[in-house]
Amino acid sequence: MDDIMKTQEQNRPVSVSRTGSMFNTELVSRRTVVKTMGAAFLLTMIGCSPVKFIVGAYSKRYEDDRVLADAFLTAFVEAVVPGVDTSDKDFTRMFRDDYYPFVKFRAFFLNDLASRTTDRFHHDRFHKLTIAERTMIIQDGLKADATVQRLYRGAILMAQVSAYTSPYNDERGCALIDFHGSNTGFTPEEMFYASPQTFMAKEITQTGNPW
């Protein structure tokens, strides 16, 4: 009987805490320990970007507020492509287009911009920053973990494609690269050389083959 009682006493869950100079023991169940450890692990993992996205640990504000989301995206593109013409109504459309995988990460991306803005400037209004300040935020994102880096690189590429090629308007050009868009009235003489054959090398043989 003494051995059984001794074994039971050894198996009792005990937590030791210190109050002043005295040590006190309190019973803690295994379930409580596991629950506490699980919560601590989850809080640690929440700091990981993929887990944040999976569990939705970010503000849904940018999914619901279209005006604010467009303001953020416009400010982002202006920082990536300074001097770009933002008057096009389709300026940020690519970021909302379901054809591109980025659309499901858009709210997470905008939330990340806001969070980094808060860390640096103590407010979340990324669209109110100067271009130099926005560039700092974007550079921070490019130095983050691998997942966030890929997200930012993808957003930058989409911004450049949207600004330089006007994918939703074939007639629209881009003054930054002297691209006029589709032919808006240029004559054949303006579009082509009058005698293009004069710029070509003479053929060596009639068939074009050297033998």
Beta strands in the chain (DSSP E): 14-19, 22-27
Confidence of residue 79 (pLDDT cuts 50, 70, 90): very high
Encode burial over 129-152: b for 16+ CB neighbours within 10 A, e otherwise.
beeeebebbbebbeeeeebbeebb
| Average pLDDT of span 157-165 | 88
Confidence of residue 113 (pLDDT cuts 50, 70, 90): very high
| Average pLDDT of span 66-92 | 88
SS3 content of the chain, % helix, strand, coil (to 5): 60, 5, 35
CA dihedral 77, 79, 83, 85 (to 10 degrees): 20
- In this prediction, residue 146 carries a pLDDT of 87
Q: Range with the lowest mean pLDDT among 72-76, 144-148, 184-188? A: 184-188
Q: Is the pLDDT of residue 91 over 70?
A: yes
| Average pLDDT of span 140-160 | 91
* Between 16 and 154, the higher pLDDT residue: 154
CB atoms near residue 108 (< 10 Å)? 20
Whether 109 contacts 50, CB under 8 Å: no
Q: Can you give the residue ranges of every domain in the chain? A: 2-46, 61-176
Give the whole-number percent of the chain exceeding pLDDT 70: 68
